[in-house]
Amino acid sequence: MGPAAAGAAAGAASGAMASEAAEREPELITHRAYNGTTDGPDPYSRFDGDGFDDDLVEDHHEPGPDDGDGGDKKGKKKGKAALTPAQRRKRRWKIIRRSLYAFVALFFVLPAIAFAITYFLVDVPSPEDVAQQQAKVVTYYYADGETEMGRDVPPDGGNRILLKPHEIPEHVKHAVYAAEDATFESNPGFDITGILRAVYNQATGGVGGGSTITQQYIKKATENEEYSITRKWTELVKAFKMSNEQSKEEIITAYLNTIYFGRGAYGIEIAAQAYFGKSVKDIDVSEAALLAGMIQQPGRSENPEVREKRWNYVMDQMVANGWLSREEREAAKLPELIDLEDAKPETISGPEQFILQRVKEELEKKGYPEDKLQTGGYRVYLTIDQHAQEAAEQAVKQVMEGEKEELMEALVAVDPKTGGVLAYYGGPYDPDVPGGQYDWAAAQRNPGSSFKPFDLVALLKKGKGLGETYDGSAVREFDGRPVRNANGDDCGTNCTVAEAMKRSINTVFFDIVVNEVGPQAVVDAATEAGIPEEGSGVDGRPTMPTLDGNISIGGGDTMVSPLHMASAYATFADNGIRHESHFVAKLTTSDGEIVFDNTSEVATEGEPAFSSDPAVSKQIAGNVTKSLIPVLEYSHLTCEGGYACAGKTGTHQYVSPDGQQKDENAEAWMVGYSPDVSAAVWVGTGKNQPIRDSNNNRIYGSGLPGQIWKLFMDAYHEGKPLTEFPEVELIGKPPTTPPPPPPDPAPETTTQTAPETTSQTAPEEPSDTSSAPSTPTGPGEGDEEEPPGYSNPGGPPVPPPDDWFGNNRDDRGGGEE
């Protein structure tokens, strides 16, 4: 090639390069990196000690048309493959080192800095400061929002007795350690596992965590009860600071001087006086264990079952930690408490004390325990209607005046439209009356035939109704065991469900449950109406633990409280809409700021009970009501003034401790409702004892309970507009014309066939006309007897044995049912 040709070629190449350069985006020299195309390293690139920057070597690739930045993927892979094993290992370790640096900084360095800063910013409140802010007066209002029911006043107006470390006995401290923090003497003031648990719960939407005694003191002293990581963090720092600045002896003393024990008592000295009427220096190990056990559940101090459970736990923990010998533990007995009215100056007294207890339990479940209420001086607006409460107490007083002292009674009324408890009478709350300090309105008892409406619900849900017929003979056998009707009442072999409900025919309802719907369907119907499947009464017993035919007549293991029965019947009254029963309408702070409001439209909306379709649930409830209206007419318990009412009685038969069925009753019920109110009444002794009135006549549901119920309902409706139950279409075939009713039962002196000592239902007794209303009497209803051994003299009821297939007896007399 000649010079001219060479020049032309060079010019062409130069032009091509210039053209290519013009098409490429210019680079800033500060952005250039060594890419292997220059004679030496770029002075601005980064290198390791081996002369290579691992990051850049990995990104090295030959430019290609398929690569967005001028290179192709194949070239990139080739560049990566060029790394030596040593370079790859070096790169991996670099990533690990940097990750470790970040981990240490995130989880150790930064928290340590934050901890140090927080440590110097926070202060630990002194017991004197805490005492000044605790125990303000809590005010309770009736449903009108203006009338005070009373005030919960702390002992001595909130004064404290702050003890010195040497004034608190060692066994008291050990009891508190056993109950709350067994490692108190050795831990640094906080529990790291508890903190981590709180973090986890916060992240997963749960609540709670672990707290040492020191942390609990900080929490109570700062009035911060929220479940949050921030609260736990601050609590941890303050607890650590308190542990550094004070001795363990000083810390436990501060804690015991300020913690809340229930009964309005803050501090161990006031608590010893409130529970036992003595100074803390005089209480023994058993009493110390009870006080320590109540720290976790101070709002349930008047629940004997809770007290016993917590006492047993603390005593066992003291043995486990070597603070109490096994011999001392076995010899110890649950200590007795002084009367609550002697423990603190309550302005709320008498039957309203039981309302106060239920209110405190309800608020505690919502996150407002008693000590928090008193610390904030809250205002509690109740659902209790003053007129209804006075009517309830007056009805009980009028009917029970002059009756035997051992008879206890309970009345609960619920608003069907909201679930709010309108009236609540659990007893006289009189320490001078046997059983007078036990809340019978929340105690679970056998409901007898008052449970039969739930049998009917189960049947209605299958599409069968009041027109279905069953064998209502006086005596029938089921699995070889006899079931009998009251007084030998015979409804015939084609007895309709409507007639069986009116006359409370045991054989029909036993047949329905055993052969038609099954016991579980009755459980489902009852729980849908509002009765908890697991018991939540004051005695804490299961409600319906055993599934057998006895549930059809409210016997065996079927247990329910008056509160639950009033709530469940309220579901019938509100056309199949279930509302959760409650006592608190609204809670506000001392300056009127609303904390929560149960009176809002959303809160009172309720939900269909027996079907997801409100119309179907209404139809089922309406059919139940149709079956219960004639019951009141048959028992002479209709409401005065033309008010529409429906209801059912129930009686439970007495069985002696040796298992023998007796011609006596042990429980008597009346449960009924109008569109405006649902009410349940119970009368008994609570001890498996025969119940007789002042004339020594057997008590049936239509007797004393029925009279109390009727007086209350008539007083409640007085002056209110008339309301009617809505018309609903019958489910299944309509009932045929019933046969004429049987004659009135013979008087009590009539000779009766002794009940068989079987484990099935016994024959019903004729009732005492003297215990019934003065109007002419007619046949009554049948209820379950007590199972053998179902006895607890001197205390609340105990559960029956699991293997008992009990008998139900029908109430006779007073025209019941």
Query: For the segment 61-89, what is each residue's pLDDT rounded down to a tens digit?
Result: 444 444 444 445 444 444 555 678 888 88
Is 449 one of the annotated active-site residues of the chain?
yes
Helix %, strand %, coil % for the chain, to 5?
40, 10, 45
573 or 240: which leads in pLDDT: 573
Calculate mean pLDDT across residues 198-223: 61
Residue with the larger pLDDT of the pair 365 and 103: 365
The amino acid sitting at 552 is S
Q: Which domains does the chain have, with CATH numbers?
A: 127-376 (1.10.3810.10), 394-810 (3.40.710.10)
Of 211, 286, 449, 552, catalytic: 449
- The per-residue b/e assignment along 413-440, b for 16 or more CB within 10 angstroms, e otherwise, is bbbbbbbbbbbbbbbbbeeeeebebbbb
Is 243 annotated as catalytic?
no
For residues 639 and 636, give the distance between their C-alpha atoms in angstroms, rounded to a whole number: 9
Position 245 scores a pLDDT of 75
Query: What percent of the chain is predicted at pLDDT more than 70?
Result: 67
CB 574 within 8 A of CB 622: no
Average pLDDT over residues 40-47: 44
- Three-state DSSP at 380 gives strand
What is the DSSP secondary-structure string of 682-709? EEE-SSS---B-TTSPBP-TTTHHHHHH
Rounded to an integer, the average pLDDT of 562-577 is: 98
Mean pLDDT across the stretch 351-364?
93
Task: For residue 75, count other CB atoms closer than 10 A to its CB.
Answer: 17
Residues 6+ apart with CB under 8 A from 82: 57, 60
Say how far apart CA 651 and CA 449 lie, in whole Å. 7
In this predicted model, which residue has the larger pLDDT, 239 or 600? Answer: 600
Does the structure show a pLDDT above 70 at 388? yes
Residue 601 is predicted with a pLDDT of 80
Say if residue 638's pLDDT is above 50: yes
Range of weakest confidence among 147-151, 730-734, 799-803: 799-803
pLDDT above 70 for 429: yes
Question: Is 810's pLDDT higher than 60?
Answer: no
List, in order, residues 6 or more apart from 14 with CB less than 8 Å away: none
Q: Does the structure show a pLDDT above 90 at 52?
A: no
pLDDT mean across residues, the chain: 77
CA distances (Å), origin 160, targets 15, 513, 782: 100, 60, 57
Over the stretch 306-334, which tens digit does the pLDDT of each residue have?
A: 999 999 999 999 999 999 999 999 999 99
184-206: average pLDDT: 60
What span, in angstroms and rounded, lies between the C-alpha atoms of 485 and 508?
A: 9
Confidence of residue 210 (pLDDT cuts 50, 70, 90): low
Task: Give whichever of 119-123, 158-162, 277-281, 395-399 has the largest mean pLDDT.
Answer: 395-399
- Asked if 375 contacts 136 with a C-beta cutoff of 8 angstroms, the reply is yes
C-alpha 583, offset from chain centre: 13
What is the DSSP-derived secondary structure letter of residue 108? I
pLDDT-derived band of residue 360, with 50, 70 and 90 as boundaries? very high
Give the count of beta carbons closer than 10 Å to the beta carbon of residue 602.
7
d(CA 403, CA 696): 10
The average pLDDT across 692-716 equals 96
Give which of 20, 55, 314, 45 is closest to 172, Cα–Cα. 314
